[in-house]
Structure 1
Amino acid sequence: MALPRGLASTIGTAARAARVRANLTQEDVAERVGLATEVYGRLERGGMLPSVPTLKKLCEILRIPSDVLLGLTPAQENFWTKEAPARPTEEPAEIRRLVRTVKKLEPAEFRLLSLIATGLLRLRLMRQGRPAPGPPRPS
């Protein structure tokens, strides 16, 4: 069955615009929707159509009405012309990326990373002439 390129492209373009407007990365959206980042990237490029449950999640996460995502409402009459809805303050993309990476570590690797981070913080505080935190608590 041939892929309806017009619809896939429409959904991809709208999803990308909503994602950028929401200040999210492709990785952020993919994680929240439950897709591999590569799959979400292909969706944004118009290379695939999402399933109905995925489409629903995209609408919720990107805060975009389904008729806009599907291209049923002309852009000049819809939510693109309105101010973006208020979003809760989120961590910068770099922090979200780091957290995703840390979640993949083994416990011993996580402990090592924690020791390194604590050491870096102590060093910075000592350079600033401020008291450094005590040693990390064993887990």
Structure 2
Amino acid sequence: MQERKEINIEIGQRIKDARERAGLTQERFSELIGLGPKSVSALERGTVGISLTTLKKICCILSIPSDRILFGGLEKNEVSDLTVCLEQLSPEEYKIVKEIVLKLLEAFALKK
């Protein structure tokens, strides 16, 4: 059995939490980041460390900043999550999302 380092445990838990918030199973998540399900399980349990390559893939797939995985404690303001997601869109996709959000805000204002 591999020894678990505290930092690996913390990072693994943050990855698991982010994956679950995204609604992804370990199996689907492993496909998206190019690791096997057993590797994802080991990563989430903290029995293995994370490479920079894997960290980058995870952050891109989950649309979260690496600081959230490495340091945690940034979950108070989820606006930053949306910013990261929006920054990854093409200009055309961004325009569509912006129009949708503005229409939603308009609809919410009408309800008040």
TM-score range, shorter chain: 0.5 to 0.7
SS at match of 2:18: helix
Larger RCO (CA under 8 A, 6+ residues apart): 2
| Deviation at residue 68 of structure 1 after TM alignment | 1.4
**What is the root-mean-square deviation in Å for CA atoms of aligned residues?**
2.2
Q: Which has the larger radius of gyration?
A: 1
Distance 1:52 1:62 in 2: 15
Q: Which residue of 1 aligns with 2:11?
A: 11
Distance 1:56 1:4 in 2: 22
Query: Are 1:26 and 2:26 an aligned pair?
Result: yes
What TM-score does the superposition give when structure 2 sets the normalisation length?
A: 0.63
**Number of residues of Structure 1 aligned to a counterpart in Structure 2:** 81
1:81–1:58 distance in 2 versus 1, CA, 3 Å: same
Conserved 8 A contact 1:15-1:62: no
Identity %: 39
Unaligned runs of at least 5 residues, structure 1: 88-139
Distance 1:26 1:14 in 2: 14
Unaligned runs of at least 5 residues, structure 2: 86-112
Find the partner of 1:82 among 73, 77, 86.
77
SS at match of 1:81: coil
Matches within 5 A, 1:101-120: none
What TM-score does the superposition give when structure 1 sets the normalisation length?
A: 0.51
